[in-house]
Amino acid sequence: MLRRVAARCARALGAGGGAHPASGLSPRGRSASSGSPDAPRNQPPSSEFLARPVGVCSMMRLPVRASPEGLDAAFVGVPLDIGTSNRPGARFGPRRIREESVLLRTANPSTGALPFQSLMVADLGDVNVNLYNLQDSCRLIREAYEKIVATGCIPLTLGGDHTITYPILQAMAKKHGPVGLLHVDAHTDTADKALGEKVYHGTPFRRCVDEGLLDCERVVQVGIRGSATTLDPYRYSRSQGFRVVLAEDCWMKSLVPLMADVRRQMGGKPLYISFDIDGLDPAYAPGTGTPEIAGLTPSQGLEIIRGCQGLNVVGCDLVEVSPPYDPFGNTALLAANLLFEMLCALPKVTVV
């Protein structure tokens, strides 16, 4: 009996040549590289052989690795929420997203994507942020991501409040130069300052423009809505050349035509995807820091991400999941699925 159980666990943990989720090692005991098409790749274990509550709490129960070397893509947590303006709790987002990701599987029948047959993927754990110093946290995030992208690994980030995108884009621009941005959000996050501070979750893209991190003619903001302090709250974004797509212009529509336009706009140059969960309506994603009514639907979120398939995506993030405001975990489950869709949209992913 014990032998049969052990054999099943081995098949689940090592399916497709993958590694034990706590070790990050290939079956031969060394880190597996995706350099060869025949090299073993990590595979999330199947619930057919390993019960879903079993194993290390990593994204999709993938191996946990300490280094991005040899990885094509990696999930990274940034548990920071000291940049929030109202509701806290996003520091717990990465952990809860990982918990809910246990329901995800390896293939995407809707798009034909087979990410784990195409890429070497792992979970790099969390950036060790400083919860008492936002500026120092930004430094720690920037330095961590510089090391990740230097290896050629594409990071898929579990946030954390939206402040974290600023230092991530600093690292991205250092490697790729100014990048295009697909930004899904209820807010433009282009404020200049609040309470005298120029860095918080309402200012990341203003700071990115200040530092020349964005290719402003290739920035699209989708889902923008809500009350404001002026009748033209989008003036700054549009003055920089951003395309601002209001939520009300998306109501009861497929966003496939929009994404066809976005694809033409982005071309083959580097693109970063930043998805604030409050871009979705709070009926679907209540666990967030700054909810706004009348937002996008989950199906529209899928259309946006799937519309990026084949583009030169160099990084992604999913931010502002605040688990204390959604004890049932629906928001984190949505986030986990959206991150999986981002993985499926990365370059070099096999599509059948």
* Cα gap 303→299, rounded to integer Å: 6
Q: Which residues of 204-222 are buried (b: 16+ CB within 10 A; e: fewer)?
A: bbbbbbeeebbbbebbbbb
- Residue identified by tokens 């994204």 is 59
Rounded distance, CA 345 to CA 114, Å? 10
Walk along the chain (352 residues) in steps of 10 and give the mean pLDDT of each run: 42 42 33 58 94 95 98 98 97 98 98 98 98 98 98 98 98 98 98 97 98 98 97 97 98 98 98 98 98 98 98 98 97 98 98 96
Q: Measured between alpha carbons, how far is 58 from 33 in angstroms, rounded to an integer?
A: 20
Q: What is the DSSP pairing of strand 113-114 with strand 350-351? A: antiparallel
Q: How far apart, in whole angstroms, are the C-alpha atoms of residue 325 and residue 56?
A: 25
| Alpha carbons 323 and 289: distance in angstroms, whole number | 10
Fold classification of 71-345 (topology level): Arginase; Chain A (3.40.800)
Residues making up the binding site: 162, 185, 187, 189, 276, 278
Return all residues near 351 (Cβ < 8 A) that are at least 6 apart: 111, 112, 113, 114, 309
Length of the chain: 352
**How many Cα atoms sit within 13 Å of 201 on the Cβ side?**
27
Amino acid 12: pLDDT? 46
* Euclidean distance between CA atoms 267 and 315, whole angstroms: 16
| pLDDT of amino acid 43 | 94
pLDDT of residue 40: 85
| Residue 191 confidence (pLDDT) | 97
Sheet holding 243-246, edge to edge: 121-126, 73-78, 154-159, 313-319, 271-276, 179-184, 214-224, 243-246
Task: Extract the annotated binding site for Mn(2+).
Answer: 162, 185, 187, 189, 276, 278
Task: Look at residue 27 in the predicted model and tell me its pLDDT.
Answer: 31
Chain centroid to Cα 280, Å, comes to 15
Q: Model's pTM, two decimal places?
A: 0.91
Tokens representing residue 279 in the block: 């871009």
> What was the pLDDT predicted at 37?
63
